[in-house]
Chain A
Amino acid sequence: MELDRDNLIWLYRTMVTIRRFEERGIPETGQRRMSASVHSSAGQEAVPTGICAHLTKEDYIASTHRGHGHAIAKGVDPKLMMAELFGRTTGTNKGKGGSMHIADMSKGMLGTNGVVAASVPLAVGAALTSKLKKLGRVAVAFFGDGGANQGVLHESMNLAAVWKLPVIFCCENNGYAESTPVEYALSVPNVADRAAGYGMPGFHVDGMDVFAVYEAAGQAVARARAGLGPTLMECRTYRYYGHTVFDNPLTYRTKEEEAFWRNRDPLKLFRERVMPEGLLTAEELDRIDRETDQLMEDAIKFADDSPLPEAPQLYEDVYVNYPKEMMKRGANMEI
């Protein structure tokens, strides 16, 4: 799987877009007092980028509460995501979902999800659709080291293995479930060790190195596309901020640890790899940075200029077909 110049530019642009979205968009969302439930994936960019590089628009992903990066890597428009965070009608979800439910069915993005590991069986179901309809699509189920201990993940891995479904179970192990360290909560040294219990390949990779993720994901995706069944891949990564951006991670981890991981920043590692080899120049990469900065300013403006939902939207899209008056009958609603 040789990466050509366009592939390299895509990898870098995707990672920078995720980083800038988190570092620019989340504080702006906070300033607008729209939500405190926003989880930054800054630091983890290499994982969704290295995996989604192998996916087509038709493939599926199911994501987590820390899912902006997954959405961006799968091709969801950051402008529409920004509008969603700002609660606007132009958002991916018309302002009905916010950060924890960003979905774009036209991009195979089955949603970020507010319940840990709850989206995993959705990916299994999408893979079942692909298998039964012979669509040749694969599905990636993202979850964290916290999700690794949820029962539904284990049931889903067993089911996908029994039915040989084209699923990639991708654990983003960022070391912490909220404040609980992974080594406290995990009964084995690696999440990937658990693959053996379900008869599927399992391995862990350096989740800060997009090239390592890309190469490993290539094998897992190829295996799924060939009809050989699921794979469990664990990516060791780190989130730069707290569980949400409003809590203080130094209540459970050290500055030295943060510095260690910051020194292994995925954008920095990428530059250190491609520039000496002459694959891309500093000027080219700097230009991508600037273009992405501008994209974020445009996205913020687009979101701010977009309308907030009108009150009757409250009753829209609960069902495809249901008597609307039932939603407010007896509730003494004002609208």
Chain B
Amino acid sequence: MTTATPVPMSPVGVTRQIRYRDAINEALRQEMERDETVILLGEDIAGAAGREHLGFVDSWGGAFRTTQGLIQQFGNQRVLDTPLSEAAFVGAAIGASSTGMRAVAELMFVDFVGVCMDQLLNNAAKMRYMFGGQVKVPFTLLTRIGAGFGSAAQHSESFYSIFSHIPGLKGVVPSDPYTAKGLLIAAIRDDDPVVYFEHKGLYGDMGLVPEEPYALPLGKARTVRQGTDVTLVGISRMTWVCTEAAAELAKAGISAQVIDLLSVSPIDYDHIIDSVRRTHRVVVVDEDTPICSIASDICARVAEEAFDHLDAPPSRVTAPHTPVPYSRALENYYVPNAARVVKAVQGLVNRK
């Protein structure tokens, strides 16, 4: 069992800071420069498609500007604006990836996956197995998660757990610019289908990012804060809710280790279990809903594999089992925050 932390907190000897959004853009750009079979398909990823003659080129650059500037460099045969047809273009990206391309398709919000789920579930995930290993599907799906923006129930979900449940798919949840770039490069280079979850609340975050291309390992977590009394596991933006809670807990004399999960398939259980064996307590903080979730899965795994090391039941702080509400008055209760994490930890520590 590995116990080392293979993904560092931040790169060594780097001084350049860029935003999460720009780290994604840079990863796409560098992979498209490296490998001409890398193509990008999605709705409005360039914008104003077909209006080049009117001077509109990349006037839009993607709903969150993550693909801005790519069409100028790579042209409209590699940066393909699509009709609003997720089933067709996600399916076509899977078909292209199984015949020699390395296609990256963008699903604007993960909430929209219903319209193309069949292609992900029945083709991307299963083709290699059903075909007896004859085919590789080096396909990447970019999509977005995250509540907290008053976008209501159809533009705010975080249900990466649906994808983790499907054998044949991999998934990553980068939490900062450094992991955003390294995990996207890894996802594109990987020979299996990978779903890459961008968190809308992180786009503006700055962080140290090497200029050269680099791939971080898929399926590996990292420790972002050391501690001895409790293990907090964060997923995507929840990692920073965990560190905020850890700072609060420190004031009360409770030392929390914070693990940033980074991958939701494969899940780095060993990293978590190794930590729990030392801290004897675990709280998983997940913006996804609680039933059949990553948080539930990690708790089950800890209970199975580290039962004798636990001083308290494995615990979760998650969104409720409800859709995401619109009003900020409600949404603020929906998304897990540091106060809820602190309270949950105190409950475990004070348990006698």
Contact = CB atoms under 8 A, between A and B. Distances in A.
Interface of A: 60, 62, 91-97, 101, 103-106, 110-111, 113-115, 118-126, 128-130, 132-133, 151-152, 155-156, 158-159, 162-163, 316-323, 326-327, 329-330
B100 A129 contact: yes
Contacts of B336: none
B88 A156 contact: yes
Closest 8 CB pairs of A and B: A125-B95, A121-B91, A94-B132, A155-B88, A317-B133, A122-B95, A93-B132, A155-B85
Contacts of A118: 91, 118-119, 122-123
Given A93-B130, A103-B135, A118-B122, A322 B101 contact: no
Given A118-B119, A129-B95, A321-B191, 14 more contacts: A91-B132, A97-B130, A103-B135, A105-B131, A105-B135, A118-B123, A125-B92, A126-B98, A156-B88, A156-B92, A318-B129, A320-B128, A321-B190, A329-B301
B132 A92 contact: yes
A122 B119 CA distance: 9
19 contacts: A91-B132, A93-B130, A94-B132, A103-B131, A103-B132, A104-B134, A115-B122, A118-B119, A118-B123, A121-B90, A122-B92, A125-B93, A126-B95, A126-B99, A133-B100, A155-B87, A156-B92, A322-B192, A326-B266
B52 interface: no
Contacts of A115: 118, 122
A317 B128 contact: yes
B107 to A, nearest CB: 14
Given A94-B132, A103-B134, A321-B191, A158 B269 contact: no
A320 B96 contact: no
A169 to B, nearest CB: 12
Nearest to B100: A129
B132 A114 contact: no
B128 A126 contact: no
B269 A329 contact: yes
Interface in B287-308: 300-301, 304
B292 to A, nearest CB: 14
A158 B85 contact: yes
A93 B133 CA distance: 7
Nearest to A114: B122
Contact of B191 (A121, A316, A320): A320
Sort chain B's interface into a size bin.
35 or more
Nearest to B96: A125
A156 B119 CA distance: 12
B323 interface: no
A97 B132 contact: yes
Contact of B130 (A103, A133, A326): A103
B82 interface: yes
Interface string B137-172: 000000000000000000000000000000110100
Nearest to A332: B304
B38 to A, nearest CB: 11
Given A121-B87, A323-B219, A330-B300, A159 B134 contact: no
Nearest to B115: A151
A132 B130 contact: no
Contacts of A60: 99
A156 B132 contact: no
A110 B119 contact: no
A139 to B, nearest CB: 8
B77 interface: yes
A86 to B, nearest CB: 14
B304 A330 contact: yes
A77 to B, nearest CB: 14
Nearest to A163: B80
Contacts of A322: 170, 192, 219, 266
Contacts of A95: 132
A126 B300 CA distance: 42
